[in-house]
Amino acid sequence: MTKGNLLYAQSGGVTAVINATAGAVIEAARARGTRVGKVYAARDGIVGALREDLIDTGAESTEAIRALAHTPGGAFGSCRYKLKDIERDRASYERLIEVFRAHDIRWFLYNGGNDSADTALKLSSIGEALGYPIACIGVPKTVDNDLAETDCCPGFGSVAKYTAVSTLEAGFDVRAMRSTSTRVFVLETMGRHAGWIAASAGLAARAKDDPPHLILLPEVPFDEARFLAAVDRCVKRLGFCVVVVSEGVRDAAGRFLAEAGSVDAFGHKQLGGVGPLIADLVGAKLGYKHHAAVSDYLQRSARHIASKTDLAHARAVGKAAVAYALAGMNAVMPVIRRVSQRPYRWTIEPAPLERIANREKTLPPEFIRADGFGITPAARRYLAPLIEGEAYPPYRDDGLPDCVALKNRSVRRKLPPFQIPGL
């Protein structure tokens, strides 16, 4: 069997551990040097593949690849670019096959969410049609935890740990200040369509009345009157109230609260910022002193407080993706199966991309407390193992985490330029 080359690319919002997956892919591919020639990465995700902007990871030392396991961000660059349907933009899919052919790429590993799974699925079929069979493996990654088929998504456990730890800590802070200062603290989390991240804050409540007291989920339409009444009751009873709100929370009409009318100092509609919005609402309607935090990118890049479980998942899917590719599988994704709850045990299995592409897994009703403002014991059982264990990065003498910046040496182009639609 002649050697072929492998291409890896990162897609969508990066996570604290997507580089751990990248490192595992490269290490696994290097270990199979009799089959895999070059291990390439696309610069800036699929955009780099379309531009024939490839990186030769062979230029990186063993130590540099190992250090990916504790480096946040996306080492080769990621992108927010969704290919159109193959019927509407066949040229892009054909271009990708052309690039693969030019660089003898036999295996394409696309590390992303459900959009990326869709891209990988379509590529695998058109490759066959064009006489260049390419094994396309989706590799799961998303802080949103919204992929179908998998028990959880690499990247989520770490943002969940960050969110639960931050909520616990801020809860101690506000509790101490409640007598004369802040009464209501609001933490805004990511999660545009699914409330998994906001829900994970609920893990911080070890006992009754522990923060967070209220969680606002995208799955539950926001009812201002009910919410304000709940905040008021909480403050009257405990002296303070910690609220966690998902950026994706919507009103009864389905509009994102964050887009429902706020106009900023420059006269344009303010997107984002539902946390400050909710805090201001509390201040305006209830008169309580309030504060809001928006963790934004801090939450998904917080490698310093990554979950050990999540890191293990991230590495395992990378390793499995290479194994599946070399075993001749196609249009699959390594997914995580929960084998046992206590002790928590899990395994990796292949799942067909067609069952993952373009689907979205939101919080199931049985995970949402009856009043809509919290999580159930079932949700806790599901979430708890995902934040288990600490996976601290090494620190340098300067008091900051050690991170690697790769050389990212370009592969010489062989094809004419290509105009990416819309870019």
Out of 135, 174, 353, 363, the residue judged to bind its own copies by CB under 8 A: 174
47-76 residues in contact with its own copies (CB under 8 A) are: 47, 71-76
The reply on whether position 312 binds its own copies by CB under 8 A is: no
Which alpha helices (H) appear in 372-413, and where do they start and end? 377-383
The reply on whether position 161 binds its own copies by CB under 8 A is: yes
| CB count in 10 Å sphere of residue 243 | 28
The reply on whether position 342 binds its own copies by CB under 8 A is: no
CB of 229 to its own copies, least distance (A): 17
Residue placing its CB nearer to its own copies in the complex, 250 or 291: 291
Secondary-structure breakdown of the chain: helix, strand, coil percentages, each rounded to the nearest 5: 40, 20, 40
* Six-digit token string for 111: 């590390």
The reply on whether position 401 binds its own copies by CB under 8 A is: yes
358-387 residues in contact with its own copies (CB under 8 A) are: 384, 387
Q: What is the CA radius of gyration of the chain?
A: 23
CB of 74 to its own copies, least distance (A): 3
Listed residue (134, 138, 132, 133) closest to 109, CA to CA: 138
The reply on whether position 265 binds its own copies by CB under 8 A is: yes
Q: Which of 118, 144, 146, 310 is catalytic?
A: 144
The reply on whether position 154 binds its own copies by CB under 8 A is: no
Out of 28, 120, 281, 406, the residue judged to bind its own copies by CB under 8 A: 281
Give the span between the Cα atoms of 212 and 243, in whole angstroms: 6
Q: Give the pairing of strands 241-246 and 214-216.
A: parallel
Is 56 considered catalytic here? Answer: no
What 272-281 contacts at long range (C-beta under 8 Å, 24+ apart), as own/partner pairs, is 272/247, 273/188, 274/188, 274/245, 274/246, 274/247, 274/249, 275/186, 275/187, 275/188, 275/245, 276/186, 276/188, 278/186, 278/188, 278/216, 278/243, 278/245, 279/184, 279/185, 279/186, 279/243, 281/224, 281/228
CB of 302 to its own copies, least distance (A): 6
The reply on whether position 276 binds its own copies by CB under 8 A is: yes
Stretch binding its own copies (CB under 8 A), from 8-16, 243-251, 311-319, 409-417: 8-16
The reply on whether position 245 binds its own copies by CB under 8 A is: no
Residue placing its CB nearer to its own copies in the complex, 277 or 411: 277
Stretch binding its own copies (CB under 8 A), from 58-66, 107-115, 129-137, 267-275: 267-275
